[in-house]
Amino acid sequence: MDILSSQFLSALFAIVVIDLVLAGDNAIVIALAARTLPSHLQKKAIVWGTVGAIGVRVVMTLVVVWLLTIPWLRLVGGLLLVWIAFKLLAEEQDEAEDQGRDVTDAPAAAGTSFASAIRTIVVADAVMGLDNVLGVAGAAKGSFLLVVLGLAISIPIMIWGSTLILKWVERFPVIIYLGAGVLAWTAAAMIHHEPHLTPYFDTYPALLVLLYAGMVGGILGAGWWVKRRHALARRDAAALTSVKPPAS
């Protein structure tokens, strides 16, 4: 395929659009996973998380035909993404524990959190990257160069997007709930497009409404409930520590 031909340029344009549309979910995951890290590790997590995610996409692109033969893949991926969305939303740092931790433990704790953030980013992108890989592979029409360009284009989109979202999250924490809602919606879409389940959703449209509403409402509700429990536990712990023992 000639790189100056209209066919090549139109396919490249389609890949850019696909990356812009589908990379948003990945940027949200990266930003939410990195938000609890110290500021000096956030940028590092974004970069390395993106590198790991792109590596996963390369492998998925090479075996995309085989992936399509795995039964119930979208259902399993959707359920896994539900768990990731809940984990990101409900994740709460224990302030009392942080205050009581010895400073010598801080590097180890930061390293553990950094590794956990990278794992979350890579696993989530492996789940959500399926649609991106399928879209790019379809638009590329067998052109390896277009596939490589598609992966290369997605890198700055994900890094820039996640950095921007992270700044918004720091200023407007409510965005955490919006991001989790987007991930829950993406999970519902994956389950909706599971070939074994699509006929049932087509036959019973009410199930489709319940799926999306249940996913989004359930994740947001469960995340809010867990965060509220953590807040109450910290309040009770603070109240206990403030009570002075009776004079002897």
Check residue 91 and give its pLDDT: 64
Region of 194 on the Ramachandran plot (φ > 0 left; ψ -120 to 50 alpha; else beta) = beta
Residue predicted with more confidence, 220 or 131 = 220
**What amino acid occupies position 43?**
K
Report how far apart, in Å, the C-alpha atoms of 127 and of each of 30, 85, 98, 181 are: 13, 12, 32, 16
Lookup: tokens for 231 = 């807040």
Over residues 84-107, mean pLDDT: 55
Question: Given a cut of 60, is residue 14 above it in pLDDT?
Answer: yes
Report how far apart, in Å, the C-alpha atoms of 98 and of each of 102, 103, 104, 178, 196 are: 8, 9, 12, 27, 47
Percent above pLDDT 90 for the chain = 3
Query: How do the domains of the chain map onto residue ranges?
Result: 6-242
Check residue 210 and give its pLDDT: 93
Instruction: For residue range 21-65, list pLDDT tens digits in order.
Output: 666 677 778 888 888 788 888 888 888 888 887 787 777 777 765
Instruction: For residue range 114-132, list pLDDT tens digits in order.
Output: 888 888 888 877 777 666 6
Q: Rounded CA gap, 43 and 56, in Å? A: 20
| DSSP-derived secondary structure letter, 83 | H
Instruction: For residue range 162-176, list pLDDT tens digits in order.
Output: 888 778 877 877 778
Check residue 65 and give its pLDDT: 59
Check residue 134 and give its pLDDT: 67
Confidence tier at 211 by pLDDT (50, 70, 90): very high
Confidence tier at 213 by pLDDT (50, 70, 90): very high
Q: Rounded CA gap, 21 and 161, in Å? A: 12
